[in-house]
Structure formats: C-alpha cells, structure tokens
C-alpha cells in the first residue's frame, strides 16, 4: 500500500515535471492513466440515480480517451468506481477504498446526506471532489476541494417560489415534500422564500418514505384552498404516483416541482398526468449549445435511452470534462494545482450551462423553469441568481 | 480454562496488531464498523440468544445512542466520554420504558412490537428537528481525546473500539456464567417452568432487554464519534434485520459467535465488491447457503472443527 | 379543519383500497404461518417479482438484462403467464428457503427468507434495471366521478378481488378435501401425517398459494404504485402488522387487521399528521397488543415452536 503510493507520487511527479519542461511522454513507457474515482449509489433505493451517474462518467471518459491527446499528453483516464450503496457507513467505507487506490479526483455522490457523511474524510484529503448534492449547507462544510456542479436548493427553491407567486399569481401556496434530506431541505428553502414575500404556506405536507397512497396529503392541500403547489420530491416513482393521484383526485392548481419532477423517468412514468406541471431545473431547457446537443445525441447513441440531464448524467458528464480540461490546461493532475485552477473556472461551457466557480465552490448559478408536455420539458423562463 | 484465557489473550493481541500491519484507511474503517456492530450483536445475543426474546429494534437503540451522544457533545458541549456515558444511560432508560410493557408479549408479537418501536424512533429522528436536525443530519460531532491524544484516525479509533468489544464480551460472559445467566437460560428453555421455580421472569427479561439496549447505545455512540455525521436513514428496520442475521449466522447463544457473525457479515459485501453490481445479490444468496449448511452458526462450525482436530 | 363528508368518503375509499392490499398480502403471511409456523420475510418479493414479470410482457421498450424488448402481449395472457410462472416460483421458494430448514425451528427459516429477499431485490435490479415501470390496469380510465367523489376503478377492482378471494378461501378451507388437509397440517403436523396427509406436499401447495396471492396483489397494485424493487417492502411490513393485530394465524383477523390499518392510516394522515402516519398505525398496533396480547381474533395459545 505504502509502496504503491510512494511509487505513484514519484511517477506523477515525474510526469508533471516532464510535461513542464517539454517532454510530453516518459520514454519507454505508455503514458500513465489518470485514476479518476467515482462513487455513485449503484445498489439500493437510489440505484436509478447511480446508474445515470455511472453512464455519465463512462460516456465522458470514453470520449476523452478517444480524442487526440486524450486527457493531456496522451494520458487516458481510468475510472475507479465503488458503490456508495444507500447507507452512510458503506458509503464512507467505499470512499476510503477509493482514496486508498490513488485516485486524483472524486466524482459523486449526488445525495446530500452521503456528501455530508463523506465530508469529514474528504477534509483530510485535499483532492478535487465534484459533487451533486443540492443541500445549501454542503458547500459550507469547509471541505477544501469540494465543488458543486449543480444549482443549490437555495437558487432553485427561490426560482420556483418566485415563479409560482409572480408568474402564476398564487396567493396561497402549499408545499408537498418527501421526508428525506432532499425533500425537507428543499421545503425549508421554499418556506424561507415565501417569507420574503410575506407569505406562509397554507399547507406543508410531508409524506413518509415508501408511501404509496397520497390521498390524505392531497386532500389536505385541496382543503387548504391553495392556488399553487410547490413539490420537493426526489424519487421518480413517488413523483409519478403523486402526479397521477393529484390528477385523479381532481386537484387542478398550478404545480412547480424540484428538478427531479422533470426527471426523464418520472416524466415517462407519469405520462399525460405530468402535462402542464412546471419544474425548476438546473440546466437551461432547450439550451442549444454544442456541448448540450452533443451530449444528448452521444448519450442516446451509447445507451439507447434519453439521459436525465439535471439530476442524473449531465452534471457528472460536466464534472469529468471540466476536470479533464483543467488537467489539460495546467498539464498536471496535481490535486492542489487542480483545485486552484478549478476555483478560477469562469465561462466554461458545460451541458448544464455556463460554469463559473464562486468562493464556496458552487459552479452553477442559474436555473430555468420548464413546463412538461408529452414527456418533454419546454423552456418557460431563465432565472439567474 | 487457563488455556482458553491464554488463547483469547493471544487472539486480542493479534487483532490489536492489525493497525500496525495494515495502513489502509479502507480496511480500518470496515474494522471499526465491524467492531461496533459486534457490540450491538452481542447485546442482541443477551436478549435473543441467552433469554430467547426476539427484538427487531436494535437499530433504534443504536440510533438513540448515536443521537444522544451527538446532541450532548455538539449542542451541550459535553466531553465525548460523558457523551458516551450519557448515551448508555439514555438508551438504558428507553429500553426500560419500552421493555416493561412489550415483554409481556412473546414470539412474533414481540417481534412486531419491536419493529413498531423501531419505526417510531426513526420517524422521531426525522421529525424532531430541534434535537436531531431532521433528515438533513447532524454534523460536526467531535472525536474523543485522552489528554492531548485525539483519536482522530481510524487506527487510533480501532483501539478504542477493540477495548469496548473486549469489555462488552467480558460483561456478556459474566452475565452468562452467573446466576443471572442461568435464570435467563431457564426462561429461554421454558418460561412457565422457570416461573414455577421462583424466577421472576419479567424482571430478568427486562434486565436482558436493557442490556441489549445499552450495548446498542454504546455502539451507536462509538460510531457517531468515528463518522462524525448522523442521519436518520442509518437506523432503519433493515438495519435491525442485518443485526439479527449477524447474530443467527454467528451462533445466537455464543458471545464469540456474535462477534464473528458481525465481523464476517460486515466484511462479506466488501470482499464481494469486485463482483460489481451483482455483489449484494450474491451476499443474499450467501446468507441462505450459510444458514442451511451451518446449523449452529459460525460458532458451531468452529466447535466442530476443533472437535475434529483433536485426536480421539 | 372542518369535517367534510366528501373528503371523509374519499379517504374511506382510498383507505379500504390500500387496506385490501394489506389484507391480501396478510392472507399470504397467515397461510404460511399456519402451515409451517414461520414468518416469511420475502412476502414483499412475492408481490414485487410477479409485477416485474408482468411488466416484461406489457411495457413497451422494457429492458431485460440490457436487451430492449417490446412484447406488449394482451393483458389476460400476461396475467395467466405470470400466475403459471409464480406456481414454479412458489415451489422453488419452498424447496430452497424452507424445505432444508424444516426441522430447525422458526429463526433459521426467517433468516433464509431474509436472504432470499435480498437476493430477489438485487436480482430484479440486475435483470430489469432501476427504472420504475408502469403496467396497464384493468380499465382504460383512471378516474370516474361519482358525484363529488373521484373514484379510481382500479381501487374498486382491488376491493372486489379481495372479497372474491376471501370467499374462495373460505370455500377452499371449509368445503374441499385439500383445504381440510391444509387446515389439519396447520393445526398438528404429526397427527396430520399419521392420518395419511402428505404433509410435505401440502406445505408446498401452501407456498404456491401464498405466492399466487402475492401475484394477484402485485398485478392489482402495480398499475397504481409502479413496479420497483422496493414496492413490496412496506406493503409486506404493514401486512405483517395487519396479520398480528388481527391475531396471528387468524384469517378473519388478517382481513379485518388489513382493512383497519389501511383506513386508520389514511384518516390519520389527514386529521393528524402525514409525517407520522406510519407511527400512528404502529402505536395503535402496540396498544392493541398490550391490551389483548394475542390480537383481536387470536386464541390464547402459546406460540408454535
């Protein structure tokens, strides 16, 4: 173990020095692969997210390894992947396993609780950590190398709340959310934003994990006289069932949901019952940048399914590409240099939009509101923080 | 007997050498977790193995211990050691309050009552935000320190857990081999007969339940100060089921079996990781195979091996 | 909050529908418990697995082992096919998870059913992926308006099918030789064997029947709840609670327990707190158990070993 690490440090150091003084490759040896750690939840109840993240990382790495010069100086990227499961203890074990395998950066996870569980370990390892957990406090944990490649709940919840009040003219706003960290954290943000408008939610319903019947919650919202509903629900199956039951119980008020409402799977399963619902998402809907168009096509060709851009594959695809571009720019994978370079990121074009790093490591600062029609999200408006 | 003590001492020393020989944080994390789980499972062993009373609430006590310790140290600024002590006292009291009515039930009824208690505890952890910070989780839990020595690495923490495991095993062994243990065994074998012999079965069952709770509380507290983060999803019904499986596969009335069951089942999925996405499935199948082919658990398996290795 | 009769009716319909599902799954628990004296922790997978099999043949573009298939067979054909598959599943389950442990008391069997449950959930993920799947229900319309009420025809079908199955089970147990043999096995296996009942076969039939009850529950709820690998977990836990509160081993107990939990949960979620809805159900259960330790319909007998 020890020997490996020493050996590794020596060789990367040599490669970096070699690169710096203009000898791109070490003579007599194939360029050493860059070991990139990835830790999605591949099993357990969030496996759908994990699968999308796995695919996003895989696609990005395959593309980078195919292009001229690969990541940089002909060094390919090698994915070292461990399953974060859905339990904090195994997630930390998996992270320690990754860190023991000499990875130079870590991508994932997307669950805020796992990000927080891993944070104490990552504090002692100063390597770039590209995360997707949207809880506001994630980037305030004091982890030096942490970056967030998605919009924080603070931005998204504000956009959602403003939209339902200003654009949809709601006077009485109800909230429906899951009892997990994502749902409760998001709902808290919505409540705070309502307060800024001098409002309190007329109903704030939290449903328990694995609930299948939402009659009680929906009827309460109906009875509260709400004229607008904000939903913070991550699980695509829950989202679809709730949308179906809202329709079947005859609740017809405008709905705006968290990014996960416009999750591809949720839209497909909910079908026509999702029509008309709005979602605040952390990518610009219909944003026809070259990168976004390319990603959508490439993903479909590779995996024969439509990617989940926001919460699923898009942000990890951006993470890997941003890392690779940064390494290419500084001609090194040295963690401290990479972190410094990432912090200076400005105007980098990703799938999710234009990426710029703030003091806390937040990379995405704008969201858009889209409306679902026939399993597709259509742009309604762009919102910048 | 002396040979056995010597053997155990050698074993403990051998285990104590692990952090010296292995420098992987990964393996040491899994060791710490396995040791902590071993304490929970030993507690369950006192209740189920010694006394024959089922509980599927171990994860709940585990959580109560973790959160008590987390609250006392982060919110009230207590030292970690007092936090651990507080966690044990609080779980003991909760176990007493819950055990008193529930232990009138037995078998599947008791199992369901404890499942219900576990689910209620998890909901309280999620919803009682003022104390637990809800689903978002509790952060910033400190590591324990002795004087100026802060137990902030897995290697140092390993020894703390090892000492706790040894102490808990000793206490469990004392319980087993004294009057209390014989009373518990009598209740397990035949409660009506035990009562007829003048054993206050209710009292002894509650004692066993409180021990199970305190063990879980201690373990929860130990893990809290190692991972430094708590969230309610770790204390689910599924986790209680994992503890039960560990105990039964280890050998329910054996202290060594409880430890072995926890260690092996904690390491099994890690060993299977190279199988990628199918490893948890293989783990499930392994549980079925082990329960079929090892009738008395790992403890029984080892006893058989020892018998065979001794010349007739 | 004012008492709204329409809302109450709506809650009652939903409560009875979900309660019927609990009752159906609880019947499966009770049957196995009666036959072999153990709790089957894989009962939820008896609901999940057939739903996935059905989805394979019903959902357009479903992926199976990474291959996209597009069978979309007629609903009735798929129902029959799934029932046939689940007969084999029940036999196999009995053979693997129960039969080798039949003389070892209840705990080892509980552990082996837990192992099978973990295995099946992850097998499902490996086979069908992690996408939730939605299979069509019996009706083409989702909701019908009855006055101010919104009724889902599928809910009515669930309630009706449960009623029919309860009647069927009554006839089976009271009027047929097979049913009498099953009851005899449940009451006293040794005596049943002495009387010429082929106990092993009766136990196997019980597992098959229980698997079929799970299948029917799955096919009925999947159009409402979507097919996921976790779909059976909470249903099974609530159904276990239902069978206990009714008095473990009692068929009327399972039915009343299931319906009661469904209705209490729905009303509790509305009038008290939806965040604590699972706690409400379990607090009532524990209270019932403490007042009547053998359940509502249970006889005061000691548990089977």
Mean per-residue pLDDT pooled into runs of 10, chain B (312 residues):
86 94 94 97 96 94 98 96 98 96 87 92 94 93 94 95 97 94 93 92 95 98 96 93 93 92 94 87 93 87 77 50
> Do B25 and A184 count as a contact with CB atoms less than 8 A apart?
no
Q: What is the mean pLDDT of chain A?
A: 89
Higher pLDDT, C142 or C75: C75
Among B70, B139, B231, the strongest candidate for a mutation testing the A interface, having the largest count of A CBs within 10 A, is: B231
Of A85, A93, A141, the CB nearest to B26: A93
> Do C267 and A241 count as a contact with CB atoms less than 8 A apart?
no
Of C126, C240, C282, the CB nearest to B278: C126
Q: How many whole angstroms separate alpha carbon C13 and alpha carbon C240?
A: 22
pLDDT at C1 over 70: no
Q: Nearest CA of chain B to the CA of A209: how many Å?
A: 10
Token match 């490649």: residue? A149
Nearest of A311, A295, A297, A239 to residue A52 by alpha carbon: A311
The pair phi, psi for residue C64, each rounded to 5°, is -125, 120
Of C122, C235, C274, the CB nearest to A207: C274
The residues in A 288-317 lying below 8 A from C, measured between CB atoms, are 304
Whole-number pLDDT of residue B193: 93
Q: Which band of pLDDT confidence, cut at 50, 70 and 90, is reported for residue C2?
A: low
Sheet holding A173-178, edge to edge: A203-207, A173-178, A228-232, A255-257, A278-281, A366-373, A376-384
Residues of B with CB below 8 A from C126's CB? 277-278, 281
Q: How many whole angstroms separate alpha carbon C221 and alpha carbon C141?
A: 15
Which run of H or E residues covers position A191? helix A181-196
In percent, the amount of chain C with pLDDT more than 70 equals 96
Give the tens place of pLDDT for each residue, C263-297. Answer: 999 999 999 888 888 888 888 888 888 888 777 77
Report residue A243 as tokens.
């949308």
Give the tens place of pLDDT for each residue, B243-291. Answer: 999 999 998 889 999 999 999 999 999 999 988 788 889 999 999 999 9
Q: Nearest CA of chain B to the CA of A181: how many Å?
A: 4
Of B30, B137, B279, the CB nearest to A181: B137
Whole-number pLDDT of residue C90: 97
Whole-number pLDDT of residue A18: 42
Residues of A with CB below 8 A from C136's CB? none
Of B233, B234, B273, the CB nearest to A82: B273
The answer to whether the CB of A185 falls within 8 A of the CB of A192 is no
Q: How many whole angstroms separate alpha carbon B51 and alpha carbon B42?
A: 13
Q: For residue B162, list its beta bridge partners.
A: none
Residue A147 DSSP code: E
Whole-number pLDDT of residue A287: 63
Q: How many whole angstroms separate alpha carbon A265 and alpha carbon A268?
A: 5
Residues of C with CB below 8 A from A216's CB? 11, 14, 265-270, 274, 277
Q: Considering the entire predicted model, what is its pTM?
A: 0.92
> Do C10 and A249 count as a contact with CB atoms less than 8 A apart?
yes
Whole-number pLDDT of residue C302: 44
Whole-number pLDDT of residue A12: 44
Which chain A residue's Cα is nearest to B139? A116
Query: For B192-214, b where at least 16 C-beta lie within 10 A, e where not — what string?
Result: eebeeeebebeebbbbbbbbbbb
- In this prediction, the residues of chain A whose per-residue pLDDT falls under 70 are 1-29, 287-288
Give the tens place of pLDDT for each residue, C142-172. Answer: 889 888 888 999 999 999 999 999 889 889 8
User: DSSP labels for chain B?
Assistant: -HHHHHHHHHHHHHHHTHHHH---HHHHHHHHHHHHHHHHHHHHIIIIIIT----S-HHHHHHHHHHHHHHHHHTS---HHHHHHHHHHHHHHHHHHHHHHHTTS-HHHHHHHHHHHHHHHHHHHHH-HHHH-GGG-B--PPPPEETTEE--SHHHHHHHHHHHHHHHHHHHHHHHHSHHHHHHHHHHH-HHHHHHTT--HHHHHHHHHHHHHHHHHHHHHHHHHHH--B-GGGS-HHHHHHHHHHHHHH-TT-HHHHHHHHHHHHHHHHHHGGGGGGHHHHHHHHHHHHHHH-TTHHHHHHHHHHHHHS--
Of A207, A217, A248, the CB nearest to C143: A248
Q: How many whole angstroms separate alpha carbon C193 and alpha carbon C184?
A: 9
Chains that touch C (3 or more CB pairs under 8 A): A, B
pLDDT at C195 over 60: yes
Whole-number pLDDT of residue A29: 67
ipTM of this predicted structure: 0.91
pLDDT at C179 over 70: yes
Token match 């994932």: residue? A108
In percent, the amount of chain A with pLDDT more than 70 equals 92
> Do B115 and C237 count as a contact with CB atoms less than 8 A apart?
yes
The answer to whether the CB of A209 falls within 8 A of the CB of A180 is yes
Token match 């009506």: residue? B192
Q: How many whole angstroms separate alpha carbon B300 and alpha carbon B296?
A: 5
**Cα separations in angstroms, A139 against A135, A188, A316, A335, A362:** 8, 17, 17, 18, 7
Whole-number pLDDT of residue C137: 92
> Do C112 and B248 count as a contact with CB atoms less than 8 A apart?
no
Q: Nearest CA of chain B to the CA of A99: how many Å?
A: 8
Q: Which band of pLDDT confidence, cut at 50, 70 and 90, is reported for residue C183?
A: confident
């Amino acid at each position: 173990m020890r020997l490996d690490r020493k050996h590794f440090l020596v060789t990367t150091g040599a490669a970096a020095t070699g690169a710096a003084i203009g000898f791109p490759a070490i003579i007599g040896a194939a360029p050493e692969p860059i070991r990139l750690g990835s830790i999605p939840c591949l099993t357990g109840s969030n496996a759908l997210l994990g699968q999308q993240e796995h695919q996003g990382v895989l696609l990005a790495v395959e593309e980078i390894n195919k292009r001229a010069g690969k990541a940089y100086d002909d060094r390919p990227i090698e994915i070292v992947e461990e399953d974060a499961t859905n339990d904090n203890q195994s997630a930390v074990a998996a992270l320690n396993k990754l860190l023991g395998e000499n990875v130079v950066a870590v991508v994932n996870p997307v669950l805020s609780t796992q990000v927080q569980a891993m944070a104490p370990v990552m504090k002692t390892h100063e390597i770039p950590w590209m995360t997707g957990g949207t809880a506001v406090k994630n980037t305030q944990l004091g982890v030096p190398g942490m970056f967030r490649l998605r919009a924080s709940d603070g931005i998204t919840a504000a956009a959602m709340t403003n939209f339902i009040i200003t654009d949809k003219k709601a006077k009485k706003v109800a909230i429906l959310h899951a009892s997990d960290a994502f749902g409760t954290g998001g709902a808290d943000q919505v409540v705070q934003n309502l307060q800024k408008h001098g409002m309190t939610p007329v109903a704030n319903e939290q449903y328990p994990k694995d609930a299948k019947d939402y009659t009680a919650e929906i009827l309460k919202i109906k009875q509260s006289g709400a004229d607008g509903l904000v939903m913070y629900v991550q699980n695509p199956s829950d989202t679809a069932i709730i949308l179906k039951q809202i329709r079947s119980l005859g609740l017809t008020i405008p709905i705006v949901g968290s990014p996960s409402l416009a999750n591809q799977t949720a839209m497909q399963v909910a079908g026509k019952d999702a029509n008309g619902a709005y979602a605040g998402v952390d990518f610009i809907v219909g944003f026809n940048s070259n990168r976004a168009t390319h990603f959508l096509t490439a993903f479909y060709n590779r995996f024969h399914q439509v990617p989940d851009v926001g919460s699923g594959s898009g942000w990890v695809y951006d993470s890997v590409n941003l890392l690779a571009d940064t390494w290419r720019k500084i001609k090194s994978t040295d963690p401290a240099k990479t972190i410094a370079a990432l912090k200076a990121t400005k105007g980098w074009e990703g799938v999710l939009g234009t990426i710029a790093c703030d003091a806390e490591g937040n990379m995405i600062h704008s969201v858009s509101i889209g409306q679902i029609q026939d399993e597709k999200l259509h742009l309604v408006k762009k919102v910048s923080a | 007997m002396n040979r056995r003590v010597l053997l155990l001492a050698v074993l403990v020393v051998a285990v104590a050498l692990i952090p010296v020989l292995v420098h992987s944080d990964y393996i040491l994390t899994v060791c710490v977790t396995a040791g902590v789980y071993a304490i929970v499972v030993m507690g369950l062993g006192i209740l189920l193995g010694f006394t024959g009373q089922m509980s599927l609430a171990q994860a709940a006590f585990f959580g109560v211990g973790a959160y008590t310790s987390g609250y006392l140290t982060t919110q009230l600024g207590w030292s970690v050691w007092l936090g651990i002590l507080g966690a044990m006292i609080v779980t003991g009291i909760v176990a007493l309050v819950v055990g008193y009515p529930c232990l009138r039930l037995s078998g599947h009824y008791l199992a369901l009552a404890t499942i219900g208690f576990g689910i209620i505890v998890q909901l309280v952890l999620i919803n009682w935000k003022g104390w637990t910070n809800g689903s978002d989780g509790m952060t910033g839990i400190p590591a324990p320190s002795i004087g100026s020595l802060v137990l902030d690495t897995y290697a140092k923490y390993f020894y703390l857990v090892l000492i706790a495991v040894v102490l808990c095993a000793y206490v469990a062994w004392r319980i087993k081999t004294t009057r209390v243990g014989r009373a518990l065994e009598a209740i397990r074998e035949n409660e009506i007969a035990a009562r007829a012999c003048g054993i206050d079965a209710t009292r002894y069952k509650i004692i066993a339940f409180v021990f199970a709770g305190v063990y879980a509380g201690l373990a929860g507290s130990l893990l809290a100060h190692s991972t430094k983060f708590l969230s309610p999803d770790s204390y689910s019904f599924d986790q209680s089921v994992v503890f039960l499986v560990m105990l039964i596969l280890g050998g329910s009335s054996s202290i060594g079996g409880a430890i072995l069951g926890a260690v092996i089942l904690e390491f099994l999925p890690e060993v299977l990781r190279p199988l990628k996405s199918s490893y948890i499935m293989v783990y499930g199948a392994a549980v079925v195979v082990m329960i079929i082919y090892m009738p008395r658990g790992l403890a029984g398996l080892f006893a058989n091996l020892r018998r065979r290795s001794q010349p007739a | 909050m004012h008492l709204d009769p329409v809302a109450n009716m709506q809650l009652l319909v939903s409560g009875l529908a979900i309660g019927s599902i609990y009752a159906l799954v609880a019947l499966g628990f009770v049957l196995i418990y009666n036959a072999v004296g153990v709790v089957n922790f894989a009962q939820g997978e008896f609901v999940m697995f057939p739903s996935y099999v059905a989805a394979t043949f019903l959902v357009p573009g479903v992926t199976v082992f990474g291959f996209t298939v597009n069978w979309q067979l007629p609903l009735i054909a798929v129902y029959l096919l799934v029932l046939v598959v689940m007969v084999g599943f029940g036999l196999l389950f009995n053979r693997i998870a129960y039969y080798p442990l039949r003389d070892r008391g209840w705990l080892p069997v509980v552990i082996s059913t837990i192992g099978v449950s973990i295995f099946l959930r992850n097998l499902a993920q490996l086979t069908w992926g992690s996408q939730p799947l939605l299979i069509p229900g019996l009706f083409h319309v989702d909701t019908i308006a009855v006055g101010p009420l919104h009724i889902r025809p599928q809910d009515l079908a669930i309630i009706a099918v449960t009623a029919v199955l309860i009647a069927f089970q009554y006839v089976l147990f009271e009027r047929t030789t097979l049913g009498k043999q099953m009851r005899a096995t449940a009451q006293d296996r040794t005596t049943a064997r002495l009387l010429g009942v082929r106990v092993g076969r009766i136990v196997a039939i019980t597992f098959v029947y229980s698997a079929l009850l799970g299948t029917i529950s799955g096919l009925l709820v999947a159009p409402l709840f979507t097919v996921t690998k976790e779909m059976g977990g909470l249903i099974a836990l609530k159904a276990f609670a239902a069978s206990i509160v009714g008095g473990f081993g009692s068929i009327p107990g399972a039915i009343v327990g299931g319906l009661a939990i469904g209705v209490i949960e729905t009303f509790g979620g509305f009038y008290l707190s939806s965040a604590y809805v699972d706690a409400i159900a379990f607090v009532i259960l524990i209270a019932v158990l403490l007042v009547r330790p053998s359940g509502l319909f249970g006889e005061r007998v000691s548990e089977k070993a």
